[in-house]
Structure 1
């Protein structure tokens, strides 16, 4: 009971820890015209303004949160973070967006821009291609009217309030 109580208490602070980690992206341009935090905010703003639900918007907000820790696998980090809180489709989009985003720039690096084709036929292929086309690859505009992080905090707190997937989902729904 002590462990369960402490886990619930610690879990309640997850949104605050996620927000703190997002802030680490502030000022990290990585060669882009805007920093990584602004890119995440802009991606989420575009998805929100397009009428996407909160789970989608939060996936868009966090899709590149792993950039600071996973230079070579940032989508895996973001996908692992959101998995308990979003649908399988949103998890898959987040997990695979790196391969799909490569369509827009890999060829400039001498790489195969069509690496995403290995997923062709997957039920979420088109959804991931759409995410990258409409939101991710478009979100590098320094002039875009981007919502601030504070705008997304209530959404983040609602989405991360209770896991809907994984081993802890049954426990959180039983409370």
Structure 2
């Protein structure tokens, strides 16, 4: 199975998986992708936004690891270190924004507030904040936060698969 076909299978497996109260994980993924596209993000960031929560997929979820680590582990060999790192950093970005941005926590969904407690609460990780991709991790986090609206339109799966194909093909070029 090609990388784009694997990506489609994982995305489609998110239909009916509920982490948030208002949208399932597939709608959340497609809304996050749409947020990134509207923001003018590059293909790698769009793909990381779309796939940041794939650790919730029944095809990938594991009891022994967190969803952000599962996403990073699955994405990195298929789409490169940046896409994997960005998806893997979305929890650290939330913790950072709660710790550093007044009022940020007030805008989190109830589910996100509950998961924040399980993730260790507000924190600043200097190893993350000094990383060259950190600004894009914060952008991804904001796409994540905005992608929980049952009335919002997301990108379509074909758009995400086309982005996945471009990112995977770019990795194969010398």
Q: What TM-score range do you get, normalising by the shorter chain?
A: 0.7 to 0.9
What stretches of structure 2 of length at least 5 have no aligned partner? 99-104
Q: Distance in 1 between matches of 2:115 and 2:72?
A: 25
Structure 1 residues 130 and 110: CA distance shift in structure 2, 3 A: closer
Q: Distance in 2 between matches of 1:139 and 1:110?
A: 17
Q: Distance in 2 between matches of 1:86 and 1:20?
A: 16
Q: Distance in 1 between matches of 2:145 and 2:92?
A: 12
User: Match for residue 125 of structure 2?
Assistant: 118
**2:9 paired with 1:20:** yes
Structure 1 residues 113 and 126: CA distance shift in structure 2, 3 A: farther
Structure showing greater Rg: 1
Q: Deviations over 1:100-153 (max 9, x none)?
A: 2344456556835323x02364233333223212x0111101111212212222
User: Match for residue 154 of structure 1?
Assistant: 162
TM-score normalized by structure 1?
0.73
Number of paired residues? 153
Higher relative contact order (CA 8 A, sep 6+): 2
Q: Distance in 1 between matches of 2:153 and 2:116?
A: 33
User: Match for residue 76 of structure 2?
Assistant: 83
Root-mean-square deviation (Å): 2.6
TM-score normalized by structure 2?
0.73
Superposed displacement of residue 55, structure 1:
1.4
